[in-house]
Structure 1
Amino acid sequence: MATISDVQFYLSLFVIWFVSTLAFRSLAKKRAKSNHASKVILPPSPPALPLIGHLYLLSSVLPKSFKTLALKYGPIMRLRIGSSNSVVVSNATIAREILKNNEMSFVSRPDFGASDFNMYKGSEFVNADYGSYWRFLKKICMTQLLSAPQVNRFADIRREETIKLLEIFDKCSKEKKACDIGVELMTMTNNIICRMAMSTRCSDNTNESQQIWEFVKGVLEIAPKFSLGEMLGPLGKLDLFGYGRRLNNLFKLFDGLVEGIMVEKERNFGMAERKDMMDIMLEVYRDKNAEEIFMAGTEAMSVSMQWTLAELINHPELYKKLREEINTVVGSSRLVEESDVPNLPYLQAVVKESLRLHPAAPLIFRKCGEDCKIHGYNITKNDRVIFNLYAIMSDPNEWEDPTAFVPERFLGGSTETIRDYNQQLLDTKGQSFNNIPFGTGRRGCPGASLSSAVMQAAIATFVQCFDWEVEGGGKIDMELGPGLSSGMAQPLVCYPVTHVLPMEVTGMVA
Structure 2
Amino acid sequence: MLRLLNGTTLDLLLSVRQDEIKHLMKSLSEKANAGEAVDLSVELMKLTNNVISRMLMSKRCSDKENEATDMRNLVTEINKTTETIIKEHQVARKQETGEVKDLLSILLEIADNESTEIKLSRENIKAIILNMFSAGTDTSALTTEWALAELINHPNSLRKAVDEIGQVVGKKRLLQESDLPNLPYLEAIVKETLRLHPAAPLIPRRSTNDCTVAGYYIPAKTNIYVNVWALGRDPNYWNNPLEFQPERFIESRLDVRGQHFHMLPFESRLDVRGQHFHMLPFGSGRRICPGTSLALQVVQATLGAMIQCFDWKAGKDGNLPRVDMEEGLSFTLSRANPLVCVPVTRLDPILLSI
TM-score category, normalised to shorter length? 0.7 to 0.9
Where does residue 286 of structure 2 map in the other structure? 442
Where does residue 283 of structure 1 map in the other structure? 109
Among residues 1, 22, 27, which one is paired with 1:163 in the alignment? 22
- Displacement of 1:485 after TM fit? 1.1
Contact kept in structure 2, 1:202 and 1:213, CA below 8 Å:
no
Is 2:348 the partner of 1:501?
Answer: yes
- Displacement of 1:369 after TM fit? 2.1
Contact kept in structure 1, 2:26 and 2:349, CA below 8 Å:
no
Where does residue 194 of structure 2 map in the other structure? 355
Aligned AA for 1:440? S
Contact kept in structure 2, 1:399 and 1:416, CA below 8 Å:
no
The 1:212–1:267 alpha-carbon spacing in structure 2 relative to 1, beyond 3 Å, is: farther
Instruction: Write the distance in 2 (CA, Å) between the matches of 1:175 and 1:487.
Output: 28
CA deviation digits over 1:135-193, x for unaligned, max 9? xxxxxx11x21001111111111111111111111111111111001100000110010
Is 2:54 the partner of 1:195?
Answer: yes
Where does residue 216 of structure 2 map in the other structure? 377
The 1:394–1:422 alpha-carbon spacing in structure 2 relative to 1, beyond 3 Å, is: closer
- Displacement of 1:385 after TM fit? 1.1
Aligned AA for 1:468? W
Contact kept in structure 2, 1:356 and 1:435, CA below 8 Å:
yes
SS at match of 2:93: coil
Aligned AA for 1:285? A
Contact kept in structure 1, 2:249 and 2:267, CA below 8 Å:
no
Instruction: Write the distance in 1 (CA, Å) between the matches of 2:182 and 2:307.
Output: 16
Instruction: Write the distance in 2 (CA, Å) between the matches of 1:211 and 1:490.
Output: 20
- Displacement of 1:215 after TM fit? 2.7
Where does residue 482 of structure 1 map in the other structure? 329
Is 2:175 the partner of 1:304?
Answer: no
Contact kept in structure 2, 1:363 and 1:389, CA below 8 Å:
yes
Where does residue 397 of structure 1 map in the other structure? 236
Where does residue 172 of structure 1 map in the other structure? 31
SS at match of 2:8: helix
* Structure exhibiting the larger radius of gyration computed from Cα positions: 1
SS at match of 1:402: coil
Instruction: Write the distance in 2 (CA, Å) between the matches of 1:165 and 1:505.
Output: 13
- Displacement of 1:254 after TM fit? 1.8
Where does residue 463 of structure 1 map in the other structure? 307
SS at match of 1:485: coil
Where does residue 40 of structure 1 map in the other structure? none
Where does residue 93 of structure 2 map in the other structure? 269
Where does residue 274 of structure 2 map in the other structure? 430
Contact kept in structure 1, 2:31 and 2:37, CA below 8 Å:
yes
The 1:172–1:422 alpha-carbon spacing in structure 2 relative to 1, beyond 3 Å, is: closer
Contact kept in structure 1, 2:248 and 2:267, CA below 8 Å:
no
In structure 1, the gaps of 5 or more residues are: 1-140, 219-249
Where does residue 315 of structure 1 map in the other structure? 154
Where does residue 266 of structure 2 map in the other structure? 421
Where does residue 19 of structure 1 map in the other structure? none
Where does residue 259 of structure 1 map in the other structure? 83
SS at match of 2:172: coil
Q: Which stretch has the larger CA shift, 192-201 or 267-276?
A: 267-276
- Displacement of 1:212 after TM fit? 7.5
Among residues 136, 160, 178, which one is paired with 1:339 in the alignment? 178
Aligned AA for 2:71? F
Contact kept in structure 2, 1:167 and 1:506, CA below 8 Å:
no
Instruction: Write the distance in 2 (CA, Å) between the matches of 1:212 and 1:440.
Output: 29
CA deviation digits over 1:406-429, x for unaligned, max 9? 0000012557544x32744x1111
TM-score by length of 1: 0.62
> What is the CA RMSD across the aligned residues, in angstroms?
1.9
Contact kept in structure 2, 1:370 and 1:381, CA below 8 Å:
yes
Instruction: Write the distance in 1 (CA, Å) between the matches of 2:46 and 2:179.
Output: 24
The 1:390–1:464 alpha-carbon spacing in structure 2 relative to 1, beyond 3 Å, is: same
The 1:318–1:213 alpha-carbon spacing in structure 2 relative to 1, beyond 3 Å, is: closer
Contact kept in structure 1, 2:206 and 2:223, CA below 8 Å:
yes
CA deviation digits over 1:45-104, x for unaligned, max 9? xxxxxxxxxxxxxxxxxxxxxxxxxxxxxxxxxxxxxxxxxxxxxxxxxxxxxxxxxxxx
Where does residue 184 of structure 1 map in the other structure? 43
Among residues 52, 55, 70, which one is paired with 1:214 in the alignment? 70
Aligned AA for 1:491? P
CA deviation digits over 1:449-498, x for unaligned, max 9? 00011011111111110001111511111111112210001100000000
Aligned AA for 1:487? S
Contact kept in structure 2, 1:389 and 1:437, CA below 8 Å:
yes
Contact kept in structure 2, 1:186 and 1:299, CA below 8 Å:
yes
In structure 2, the gaps of 5 or more residues are: 254-260
Instruction: Write the distance in 1 (CA, Å) between the matches of 2:352 and 2:195.
Output: 31
TM-score by length of 2: 0.88
CA deviation digits over 1:200-220, x for unaligned, max 9? 000157xxxx9886331x2xx
Is 2:245 the partner of 1:406?
Answer: yes
Aligned AA for 1:444? I
Contact kept in structure 1, 2:56 and 2:102, CA below 8 Å:
yes
Contact kept in structure 2, 1:203 and 1:213, CA below 8 Å:
no
Aligned AA for 1:215? M
